[in-house]
Amino acid sequence: MDLTFHNTKTRRKERFEPIDPENVRMYVCGPTVYDRAHLGNARPVVVFDVLYRLLRHVYGEEHVTYVRNFTDVDDKINARAAATGREIGEITEETIGWFLEDMGALGALEPTHAPRATRYIGEMIAMIEDLIAKGHAYAAEGHVLFKVESYEAYGKLSGRSIDDMIAGARVEVAPYKENPMDFVLWKPAEEGTPGWESPWGRGRPGWHIECSAMADALLGKSFDIHGGGNDLMFPHHENEIAQSSCAHPEGHFANFWLHNEMLQVEGKKMSKSLGNFFTVRDLLDQGVPGEVIRFVFLSTHYRKPMDWTAEKRREAEATLRKWRSIVADVEADGVPEAVVAALADDLNSAGALTVLHGLANDKNAAALKAGAQMLGLLSDELGGWDAIDADLSALETALFEARASAMQSKDFTEVDRLKAMLIDAGLEVRMSKEGVELVPGPDFDPAKLEALQ
């Protein structure tokens, strides 16, 4: 089956042909590990997890190599260490563990390689030395800077001229720069912060060189796909291309560039000042199953802005409950071609979900389960439902006992109070002599159950 993706580099949808079908290679920029991943951080993880699954389906699991890095040396990490008095290594190890746990709860497969920047310092220093030798970088006052004017294609990925980039970017003004747009490859390490010995003194790498060095070490001078959020297109990805292309002019770096759009919350940019900023862990701790978060993400095409809303969350939960009831005790049987075809068309996950809705309506359980699992849904490993179901079971018992007491006292005040709150939470209340059944409706909101505990 032909795969087509929108290639940011050419600004058009192109047929995907891997350099080597026996070793399809993808690099995706990972997190800077100093805090919990917020909801926006999770979108590219889910987007490129679906792409990873598609590539494995088409070319075979053993023929796909996926690299997603951890940036574990950064000013934000240093600042967190200074503010908390904790060791930097302790913070990064803890945060990496959090990230893997939270993304696992969203059904994301772990990549083939998850390199940490601090383990590739030698490769970074070697690449920087090579760039200096080729006239693309220069040392100045303990820094090494990339000479932007030495790379004619600079700005091609983002479609900006250097003048536009200077006007629109927060360019660091420094006397040691030959050009305001020149960017840091190496810089001195401040006292008490991580640093490594180099030909330019004790220091640490700039952010951009990390990904170039790790991609080269693990995927080679040319590979198939580079992905990330479109907020990274400039300057990060632009700088990656420049330094990698100049270091290895015989290579192509990444043939395809895929960028996902950003995430909003209830139609607004997520920010702490607006009170709509939350982490993946916040949602999981509120009782939102990771599968629900994943479903909401997939309901919007990756190249369109995604709006997280309470309504979408409720609809996703209702749909997944329905689907899980249909596929219970059924073995998955062959991924439907229509699901693969949708994903093969520029990763159209929303189109794939439409196919699954049709299979659910037709009660085609085996195909529904196989197609959903292709998207990372309806797997046995995805949790989050048990806690909600346990809460519902406890509330069913509480309401049944309250009703039994009311039958004796003839005072149904407490029963009516509980029923009203359960209905307000989006539950259908079914009562009989045998017991009580609470059935989640399309407006079910698990968060409202907390007041009933």
448 and 346 in a single domain? The answer is: no
The answer to whether residues 304 and 255 belong to one domain is no
Residues counted in the chain: 453
Backbone conformation region of residue 122, classed left if phi is above 0, alpha if psi is from -120 to 50, else beta:
alpha
Of 260, 283, 299, the last residue of a domain is 260
The reply to whether 232 and 281 lie within a common domain is: no
Asked if the structure places residue 380 within a domain, the reply is no
Render each residue's pLDDT in the chain as its tens digit; 453 residues: 899 999 999 999 999 999 999 999 999 999 999 999 999 999 999 999 999 999 999 999 999 999 999 999 999 999 999 999 999 999 999 999 999 999 999 999 999 999 999 999 999 999 999 999 999 999 999 999 999 999 999 999 999 876 766 665 556 678 899 998 999 999 999 888 999 999 999 999 999 999 999 999 999 999 999 999 999 999 999 999 999 999 999 999 999 999 999 999 999 988 888 888 899 999 998 889 999 999 999 999 999 999 999 999 989 998 999 999 899 889 999 999 999 999 999 999 999 999 999 999 999 999 999 999 999 999 988 867 777 777 888 898 899 999 999 999 999 999 999 999 999 988 999 998 888 998 887 678 777 777 776
- Asked if residue 50 is part of any domain, the answer here is yes
DSSP 8-state class, residue 234: I
Q: Are residues 318 and 428 in the same domain?
A: no
- Same domain assignment for residues 283 and 408: no
Please give the Cα distance from 141 to 186 (Å, whole number): 11
Q: Are residues 397 and 255 in the same domain?
A: no
Instruction: Classify strands 427-431 and 436-440 as parallel, antiparallel or unpaired.
Output: antiparallel
Secondary structure (DSSP) of 45-57 = HHHHHHHHHHHHH
379 in a structural domain: no
DSSP H/E element including 180: none
73, 34 contact by CB (below 8 A)? no
- Same structural domain for residues 280 and 212? no
Q: How many domains does the chain have?
A: 3
Give me Rg for the CA atoms of the chain.
26
Q: Among 322, 341, 374, give the residue marking a domain's end.
A: 374
79 shares its domain with 161 = yes
Backbone angles phi, psi at 157, to 5 degrees: -65, -50
Domain range for 59? 4-260
Residues 337 and 362 in one domain: yes
Sheet holding 143-146, edge to edge: 137-140, 143-146, 183-188, 203-205
| Shared domain check, 183 and 77 | yes
CATH number at residue 79: 3.40.50.620
- CA-wise closest residue to 111 among 225, 1, 246: 225
Let me know whether 285 and 419 are in one domain: no
Q: Which residues in 264-295 are b (16+ Cβ under 10 Å) and which e?
A: bbeeeebeeeeebebbbeebbeebbbbbbbbb
Instruction: Judge if 36 and 121 occupy the same domain.
Output: yes
